Amino acid sequence: MDYTALKPAMLLQGLTDAQLQAFWDAGRAMTVEAGNEVIREGVVEDTMYILLEGVVEVSQTLLLKLGRKDFGEKEKTLIRLEAHMRPCFGEMSLLEDAERSATVTALADSKVLVIDRGNFDRLIEEDPMLGCVVLRHIATVVSGRLRKANHDALKLTTALSVALTG
């Protein structure tokens, strides 16, 4: 596998072949066996991933009331990502030191390209146009997720309001 595997990645659309090669060289390919976590919710890391082969599941921990005074946790699947579109995950960690917002688990043996903040920062210092393109795509991804979260919060607030007044 080489840099051409990155061509379908939405995050990298608009980059030249030379820029894709530089991005590939800044990362490292890693294999994740089925059932293993790629990233864990709550952990602080500085790596982003692009799924090259396989399927992963993105999940978050929910706090559930099990009894009057008893609470428990359960994993809630948010989405499955398949490699053919070369989806990215963990991209916010290139921008900030914060806990991971979700867990990503390989559902099948998978291969990812891993890029850490240090290599990403070096890459965008060497090629500011590459940085501009990738950061714009990251902003689009994060903006879409924020829009969905706002919509979901509104739906939940409405449902709660109806339940409390009905």
pLDDT-derived band of residue 160, with 50, 70 and 90 as boundaries? confident
Task: Using alpha carbons, list the distances in angstroms from residue 46 to 5, 127, 148, 163.
Answer: 23, 20, 24, 41
Compute the half-sphere exposure of residue 143: CA atoms within 13 Å on the CB side of its CA: 6
Backbone angles phi, psi at 132, to 5 degrees: -60, -45
Q: Is 54 exposed, middle or buried (0-12, 13-18, 19+ CB in 10 A)?
A: buried
Domain of 128, CATH number, reads: 2.60.120.10
Q: The domain containing residue 141 runs over which residues?
A: 3-165
pLDDT in tens, 28-38: 999 999 999 99
**How many independent structural domains does the chain possess?**
1
Interval 85-128: pLDDT, tens: 999 999 999 999 999 999 999 999 999 999 999 999 999 999 99
Asked whether the beta carbons of 110 and 54 are under 8 A apart, the reply is: yes
